Amino acid sequence: MGERPERDYAIWREAGADRYLLKFETSDSELYRRLHPGSSLDKRLECIKQLKKLEYQTGSGNMVGLPGQTAAMLAEDIILMHRLKLYMAGIGPFLPHPATPLKDFPAGNLDLTLRVLALTRLLLPWSHLPATTALRNIDAVESHAGAGSAAARNGAATKTTCGNTCKSTGTSAFLKGTATLKNAAPGNTFAPGSTAAPESTCKSNCVSTCTYTSSEGQRLALTGGANVLMVNLTPMKYRLLYEIYPKKTSPLEEYRQAQQLAAEIGRSVAADPGHGLSNERQGEERGDGSVQLISK
């Protein structure tokens, strides 16, 4: 719902709302101004203060890899999340959407995102830290970097249909991973590790996006500080009206994958609503090794 007048927050709170997520995105006011022309970081932080005053379980957080962002800015992001005493701190990579002004900028780095998440966990031991939906999609974006990408390093994709990346090598860098890949134009399928995709095929059949059914990014996050899985259960016909990440999986498939992922890493899915601890209880121990599934 974004930035709203305090009276709106109060009306929703009285009607029964008890959680609100409003990311500050970056703690650097100048970078925020460039990304949000006509708005300011101070206004965003004031809204977060209003939500906390109304006793919402307030979530916020940053984006890793924003154009113009520095390591020092990321450090300040972590400190700000600590100062805000958030119930939930959302830390996810920047992903460029093809229909936005930032479409030509590179995506945030998976490894750096995981480092920021782990450091934040040290300062926020009792806050919810989600393995965000962006982490489900970052492998597809990073794959365009070739063999050094997360997908190639980790064999992240379990099923892929996309065009091969145009590289100067004789074969597609994608094929160094463990996924079976399908070249978009001729419809040829190449097995993992195959050398049957020549450079000429690659160059003539490049596409701009790939879709992965992997949740490797979320898996790494859950083993490095995260305790919540973000699951998008919005019906596909409505997702088109608010498409943050292109070509995501169906709601039921995404939910099934989340349950499977939790089981694979030895975590159970919590049956309770997963309320965060109040500021007064931040020092108390909680948790039973479960993972919260939160729809969005």
pLDDT for 296 equals 53
- If you write DSSP's letter for every residue of 234-257 in order, what string do you get? --HHHHTTS-SSSSPPPHHHHHHH
Place of tokens 């039921």: 252
Alpha-carbon gap, residue 257 to 226, rounded angstroms: 17
Mean pLDDT by 10 residues, the chain (296 residues): 96 97 98 96 98 97 97 98 96 90 92 97 95 77 39 33 34 34 37 42 36 68 92 81 70 84 88 68 49 58
Separation CA 235–CA 244 (nearest Å): 14
Residue carrying structure tokens 């999986």: 249
> What pLDDT score was predicted for residue 278?
52
Predicted confidence at residue 22, as pLDDT, reads: 98
Give tens-digit pLDDT for 58-89.
Answer: 999 999 999 999 999 999 999 999 999 999 99
The DSSP call for residue 109 is: P
Separation between Cα atoms, residue 93 and residue 150, nearest integer Å: 13
| Rounded Cα gap, residues 292 and 275, in angstroms | 10
| pLDDT score, position 58 | 97
Measured CA to CA in angstroms, residue 222 lies from 117, 218, 292 at distances of 10, 6, 11
Q: Which long-range contacts (CB under 8 A, 24 or more apart) does 185-188 make?
A: none
Separation between Cα atoms, residue 32 and residue 44, nearest integer Å: 10
- Give start and end residues of each alpha helix (H) in 62-205: 71-84, 110-123, 134-142, 150-154, 199-204
**What is the model's pLDDT at position 247?**
60
**Could you tell me which residues come within 8 angstroms of residue 165 by beta carbon, excluding any fewer than 6 positions away?**
143, 144, 146, 172, 173, 174, 202, 206
Residues 108/70, Cβ–Cβ less than 8 Å: no
pLDDT value at residue 166: 33
Residues 127, 227 contacting (CB under 8 angstroms): no
Task: Give the per-residue pLDDT at 294.
Answer: 57
pLDDT of residue 286: 44
Residue-range domains of the chain with CATH: 6-162+209-281+289-295 (3.20.20.70)
pLDDT of residue 295: 53
pLDDT of residue 225: 95
Q: What single-letter amino acid sits at 14?
A: E
Q: Give the C-alpha distances (Å, rounded to integers) separating 146 from 45, 152, 168, 196, 280.
A: 39, 7, 11, 17, 48
